[in-house]
Structure 1
Amino acid sequence: MSTRRSFLATAALAPLAASQAWADGAFPQRPIKLVVPNPPGGPSDIVARFLAESMRAELGQPLVIDNRPGAAGLIGSAAVANAPADGYTVLVTSRSNHIVAPLVQQGAQVDPPRDLAPVGLALRAVGIFATPGKSPWHSLREFIAQAKSQPGKLFYGSAGIGATNHIAIEQFKSLAGIDLVHVPYKGSGPLITGLMAGEVQLALLDFSSAQPGLKGGTIVPLVQTASRRLTSMSEVPTLAESGFARYDPSFWIGLAAPRGTPPEVIARLNKALDKALADTQMKARAQVNGWELVGGAPQVLEATIRQDMADFPPLVRRLDLKA
């Protein structure tokens, strides 16, 4: 066989050899970088550290956290999108940086749905529609009835213009047919303080950050975004039970890799994620923090992204949101 024919034959067999190597568990051979597009201490960072700890057992390599905050999460997203598509750089992604930020940030250099491949949907963080402790409403239906009787007279708060809970409540307003006035705060902390003080009558809060107010009675939950009632809030109805079955404003977190990452590598990472979510300690953490663990094939995250891409762009255009 000539040298040229020998080279062509070797080249033709290379992809098959690579696939067999992945199948035989050749990946990973070194530590994996887990990029968090947010500062330390936030929900995505907390989840990332738990996953890194649990996934290590299955992968046999450490997962090193790399916080890359900035540009509403797009700096971290771009770092992963531009990394080699070999599975050694993985993004901890969420609705905020994957969907909302590219719509709001002008001149974004990365398009996560286009540039990143889904690995898996880790969890949905349960949220609550909350009202001040001294408010007269005891259900979401009562609040909606009051809002309809007084259009433009009730206020809702958010963590800032363009924040996910800003857009989510605008979507809720449209579905419920009510008119509320938006009051943007500078972050979740000031928002919770404002809600407790009665400055606003409604806010969408994540379960864990609302805990002090719920325990102290200064915040009252009207409805929860969970698919099934959390044990710790068994008396609070879900959105589906309140007439909003298709509306899902929960804060999701998943993993994504650079587009073009070999399917075998995606499958390996996905398997490790599913095993981590099945871990007893992870389930205990989920119960405390109000997380609904999801898992499943990469297509589960892909379907979630596809639904968000249908829902959010029209809302952002209507609100004329620009960072």
Structure 2
Amino acid sequence: MTNRRVFVAGALAALGPLAGTRSAWAADAFPERPIKLVVPNPPGGPSDIVARFLAESMRAELGQPLVIDNRPGASGLIGTAVVANAPPDGYTVLVTSRSNHIVAPLVQQGAQVDPVRDLAPVGLALRAVGILATPAKSAWRTLHAFIAQAKAQPGKLFYGSAGIGATNHIAIEQFKALAGIELVHVPYKGSGPLITGLMGGEVQLALLDFSSAQAGLKGGTLVPLAQTGSRRLGSMAEVPTLAESGFPRFDPSFWIGLAVPRATPVAVIARLNKALDLALADTQMKARAQVNGWELVGGAPTALEATIRQDMADFPPLVRRLDLKA
């Protein structure tokens, strides 16, 4: 019996190093097939635009295509649930943002997914400058003029959002409180329809991601009233920041990152994180960032984890105060 115990113990000891390298083997082999990049928003929005650029850049490092899968609905929770319930093998990755990761679960009653609990961060891709915009057919050209009109006609002007609980929904609610104005909310099903509605004059104000607003700004159908960056973008040097417009504490920033199912092996997450970092360091990606008003971030998964932690400290009390419910 003693000899048998010694034999078993020796065998287990011999297997120990092999077991310890199993995750390393998995990372070396990963990926062996295409990766699904789930965008929980319709085509044309900021997350979709970023996803398509990342898919192109990350393919070089991963050696496999990244296939975009748009799954809009429920303020991003449908696509989020698709990833949360997927096998934790790294082949289903979520393009996540503050809207679906933080705000939507707080607003949507009976949400079946908890992104903070069910997903593991891969990395923080970028922070994006937002633009407070109005239709070109409107009468005002400054934020002060818009506020003056809203005060003169309380409840008569409309603002749009990408959906109830979307980042730009809560941001405009913050803005209303700070400016002391009353606007009527019109929720759209994503950023693409929102931009179309704003261009058409269905609503008079919206907070848009800089990149998704470009077509309207360049085409002359949208007019920028203010930008959310800490300093003016070089490409929009004539547009004041919110701080310059009298709102120094109003920071409705956009962020976009990647996440996977919570039980995904650490080595696989590290492989995806490396591919993300290399994509963000790519010269072409940097040029796109300059054009689109993005601040590329990257770094370890802890960067996204820290951002999520800060948002979870800030947003629940805000949502309760605004009594936002879908």
Fold match (TM-score > 0.5): yes
Q: Could you say what secondary structure the match of 1:256 adopts?
A: strand
**Equivalents in 2 of 1:68, 1:190: separation in Å?**
15
**Equivalents in 2 of 1:316, 1:270: separation in Å?**
31
Give the one of 8, 16, 23 matched to 2:20.
Answer: 16
Q: Could you say what secondary structure the match of 1:300 adopts?
A: helix
**Equivalents in 1 of 2:169, 2:313: separation in Å?**
17
Point out where structure 2 has 5 or more consecutive residues left out of the alignment: none
CA contact (8 A) 1:156 1:180 kept: no
Q: Name the stretch that deviates more: 116-125 or 181-190.
A: 181-190
**Equivalents in 2 of 1:171, 1:272: separation in Å?**
36
Residue number in structure 1 paired with 2:90: 87
CA contact (8 A) 1:28 1:61 kept: no
What is the deviation of 1:196?
5.2
**Residues 44 and 158 from structure 1, CA distance in 2 versus in 1: closer, same or farther, beyond 3 angstroms?**
closer
**Residues 10 and 61 from structure 1, CA distance in 2 versus in 1: closer, same or farther, beyond 3 angstroms?**
farther
1:186 and 2:188 aligned: yes
**Equivalents in 1 of 2:161, 2:233: separation in Å?**
24
Correspondence 1:99-248 to 2 at 5 A: 99-133=102-136, 139-140=142-143, 143-144=146-147, 155-174=158-177, 176-187=178-189, 188=191, 191-192=194-195, 195=198, 200-242=203-245, 244-248=247-251
CA contact (8 A) 1:36 1:69 kept: yes
Q: Name the stretch that deviates more: 93-102 or 127-136.
A: 127-136
**Residues 252 and 12 from structure 1, CA distance in 2 versus in 1: closer, same or farther, beyond 3 angstroms?**
same
| One-letter code aligned to 1:221 | P
CA contact (8 A) 2:130 2:229 kept: yes
Q: Name the stretch that deviates more: 236-245 or 107-116.
A: 236-245
What is the deviation of 1:150?
7.0
Question: 1:149-169, CA deviations, whole angstroms, 9 ceiling, x for partnerless residues?
Answer: 776565433344333322111
What is the deviation of 1:273?
0.5
Point out where structure 1 has 5 or more consecutive residues left out of the alignment: none
| One-letter code aligned to 1:265 | V
CA contact (8 A) 1:27 1:265 kept: no
Residue number in structure 2 paired with 1:293: 296
What is the deviation of 1:11?
5.6
Percent identity of equivalent pairs? 79
**Residues 267 and 191 from structure 1, CA distance in 2 versus in 1: closer, same or farther, beyond 3 angstroms?**
closer
Q: CA RMSD in A?
A: 3.2
What is the deviation of 1:237?
2.4
